[in-house]
Structure 1
Amino acid sequence: MKLTKFLLTLSLFSSSLVYAKPPEPELGKRWVINNAYSDEFNGKTLDKRKWLDHHRTWKGRPPAMFDPSTVSVKNGNMQIANKMMEKPNKKYTISGGAVQSIGQTAYHGFYESRFKASRLNMSTTFWLSNRNVPFEGKNHLGQDCERDGWSMELDIVEAVGGVIDKAFGANFRQGMQYNTHVWYSGCEKGSRSRFSKGANVAEGDGTQAFNNKLPDGEEVWQNYNTYAAWWKNENQVDFYLNDGFAGRIQVDTTLLEKPYSRPMSMQLLTETYDWGRPLPTPEQLADDAINTSYYDWVRSYYYVDVDKDAKQQLERVGKADDIFVESATIKNTRLVLNSLEFSYLYESDENVNALIELSKNNQSIFSKKVKLKAGYGHVADQIKLSKAMDFDKTQLTVHLLHTETEKLASSEPVKIKVNVK
């Protein structure tokens, strides 16, 4: 928990932030960390409660095979150091890496990761997927048999730092390439279809990109960037690049009406692509200055009512990670008869007490304490007055408390404007 007082200037619009967090919650809602799919990577090894150092069902796309020896945790990063295989394995000659979540229950919520890609013609990726399961009943294609099945894939970002010899190569080097896929194994033996939408022109339809380019020609290997997706419901996913809205996908409904209706697992991995040529050379793969993908952190959030607990699938151990900048921001005030109605945003890594204070001429004239649950919330509250009063030179302030009296953070005081209903 950050103990430095942090003031945010009152605004009716979202502030420009220098740290990552989910979009501003709606009134009465709150974002809270989902521990099973979040990691700051500040230890010395992968957290075995959360992660595998390989992929359960996939070796990798030739010529790169997932190799646990490429994965490490050090210097506050999960690192995947791509390399040439010492002993080629048939069609595999390159070692990439895969970190996959133990959990397979990631569902509607916000998912973000901050990373820096390698400078190879290998991807640095962040995505969700699930396994193929039997399709129940008749689908939109009119097929209904015992053989058919389906799965989902949400590619939050696929970044390639190398120079691909395709016209679209710069897209993977200079911005955020995202996709949604619905996979279908049909009734005919061996048939497999993919229904895709997204910014990724190599594996999707190349549509629905909004603001998915890095500024000033910056490339994905040069700096850390934050890539995020708000999986809102069965049909919609919003994407964010460095806290800016990057695009929206209405998931393809060719197969079924509500395709994004099953939980998934999380993947952080590096791979080669059939369309990503030329392949990295042995010299490039041996160059530690360009061969490594650096994941600073991955964070996932539930979206819940502001006063409700989120049922964690994996409880944290010890204190909360330092995610939120403890703060409060008053959004609006309204005087209705003898009640002062107001709303405010707050952030806190831990459950915290808040002091609501009315002051006039720098003297406190009313205060009350409320309990706030950990997270990033948007609260509606009111102060009921025993009688009408003159609000001239009266201010409202929300304080987050570290102790009973010590203030952890305070909103900017807001002058009360009379607006009688």
Structure 2
Amino acid sequence: MKMYPAALKNKIIILAIGLLGAFGYAQPPKVIGKTWEKVEKLSDEFNGKKIDKSKWNIDPEGHYELNWIGRAPALFQKESFDIGNGYLSIEVGKLKKPYVENKKYDKPMIYKYHGGILRSYKKTSVGHYYECRMKMNKTEMGGGFWLCHRGTCENKNEIDITESVGKLTEKTHKWAYDWDQIMHSNAIHRGSTCVKQVRDQKKMAPPTKNSERFYTYGFYWKSPTELLFYLDGEYVYTLNPPVPFNQELVLQFSIEAYDWNPIPEVGSMVATASKEDRTTLIDYIRVYKLKDN
């Protein structure tokens, strides 16, 4: 495949920062005249024995604003979460018996597998830096680190800091050929009966598959029109939202199913892999705000 100069330069940079990220933690970018202060209500090292329920909600229907239960065929459930050895973990797997949701959607939804979603109680907005060090599971399910809110019919926005899956299959949609080795970010002005959906999105390729080692994904919400993204502490690209993003959003981490990477009915990693391979690990989530020196 032909490699253009810009792509080659980007590949060299990413290989270099990949080596750096393997040995150290990333840090927020420097801002002249200001310093970063950690927002404790949105940060967690996950060193305790239990999930801090004053910060995080893991009940898919227990949040004060958001109550999505997951994209069929994978149900969000709080039982998928655990904490230990300094990590928050989300285990995927096959449900003991299918669950059918008859009330929430236009048609019945059948859930055969499980994942999980973590949501912050505190909201956040422009002027913050967000960082998560995590290792993806090795199954057909995936997800990542993102922000969203209920919003209104005219104005509902979402920022995906990173998302990926653990394994591709023969049924994976062709455009998603690289989603097991990717940093993909979205700035989505969601569509509804009131407005048409529009977005800005970019992606890049880390040195290894997302499930092979920990990566540190960062996002600086510099302004309503400038979203800067980082991998292992190094800048990789900027998104320019289609409308100004200045609302307060809920911070989230989810592992879910995607219709463009369908889970095989027989022999899926979700159903057959070891617990270790079915588990996504989150080392930490850290959020910072700027303050004057």
Residue of 235, 260, 279 corresponding to 1:292:
279
SS where residue 269 of structure 2 aligns? helix
**Counterpart mapping for 1:10-159 below 5 A:** 18-26=24-32, 28-55=33-60, 56=63, 57-90=67-100, 91-133=110-152, 148-159=153-164
Per the alignment, residue 186 of structure 1 pairs with 193
**Counterpart mapping for 1:230-309 below 5 A:** 230-253=220-243, 258=244, 260-279=245-264, 284-285=269-270, 286=272, 287-306=274-293
Task: Give, in whole Å, the separation in 2 of the partners of 1:280 and 1:288.
Answer: 19
Is the Cα contact below 8 Å between 1:106 and 1:266 reproduced in 2?
A: no
Deviations 1:44-86 (A, max 9, x none): 1110110011233101000001011000111111100111111
Task: Give, in whole Å, the separation in 2 of the partners of 1:129 and 1:108.
Answer: 16
**Cα offset for 1:161?**
1.2
Deviations 1:268-298 (A, max 9, x none): 1100011113447566234213100000000
Is the Cα contact below 8 Å between 1:37 and 1:106 reproduced in 2?
A: no
Is the Cα contact below 8 Å between 2:73 and 2:113 reproduced in 1?
A: yes
Is the Cα contact below 8 Å between 1:43 and 1:74 reproduced in 2?
A: yes
Deviations 1:232-281 (A, max 9, x none): 1111101101112111111113xxxx2x0101001111000111134475
Judged with a 3 Å threshold, the aligned counterparts in structure 2 of structure 1 residues 184 and 45 are, in CA distance, closer, same or farther, namely: same
Residue of 175, 193, 198 corresponding to 1:195:
198
Question: How many residue pairs align between the two structures?
Answer: 254
Per the alignment, residue 212 of structure 2 pairs with 222
Is the Cα contact below 8 Å between 1:65 and 1:95 reproduced in 2?
A: yes
Deviations 1:303-326 (A, max 9, x none): 1212xxxxxxxxxxxxxxxxxxxx
Is the Cα contact below 8 Å between 2:91 and 2:279 reproduced in 1?
A: yes
Judged with a 3 Å threshold, the aligned counterparts in structure 2 of structure 1 residues 233 and 277 are, in CA distance, closer, same or farther, namely: same
Task: Give, in whole Å, the separation in 1 of the partners of 2:189 and 2:214.
Answer: 30
Task: Give, in whole Å, the separation in 2 of the partners of 1:281 and 1:52.
Answer: 33
Q: Which runs of 5+ in 1 are unaligned?
A: 1-15, 134-147, 200-208, 307-421
Structure ID, larger Rg:
1
Task: Give, in whole Å, the separation in 2 of the partners of 1:68 and 1:161.
Answer: 21
The higher-RCO structure (CA 8 Å, 6+ apart) is: 2
SS where residue 50 of structure 2 aligns? coil
Is the Cα contact below 8 Å between 1:115 and 1:294 reproduced in 2?
A: yes
Question: Residue type of the partner of 1:51?
Answer: W
Deviations 1:76-130 (A, max 9, x none): 1110011111121121111111111111234431101000000111113100011
**Percent identity between the two aligned chains:** 28
Residue of 168, 178, 193 corresponding to 1:171:
178
Judged with a 3 Å threshold, the aligned counterparts in structure 2 of structure 1 residues 130 and 107 are, in CA distance, closer, same or farther, namely: farther
Judged with a 3 Å threshold, the aligned counterparts in structure 2 of structure 1 residues 172 and 149 are, in CA distance, closer, same or farther, namely: same
CA RMSD of aligned residues (A): 1.8
Judged with a 3 Å threshold, the aligned counterparts in structure 2 of structure 1 residues 107 and 51 are, in CA distance, closer, same or farther, namely: farther
**Cα offset for 1:36?**
1.4
Question: Residue type of the partner of 2:219?
Answer: A
Judged with a 3 Å threshold, the aligned counterparts in structure 2 of structure 1 residues 283 and 181 are, in CA distance, closer, same or farther, namely: closer
Judged with a 3 Å threshold, the aligned counterparts in structure 2 of structure 1 residues 174 and 132 are, in CA distance, closer, same or farther, namely: same
Q: Which runs of 5+ in 2 are unaligned?
A: 1-19, 101-109
Higher helix share: 2
SS where residue 101 of structure 1 aligns? strand
Question: Residue type of the partner of 2:199?
Answer: S
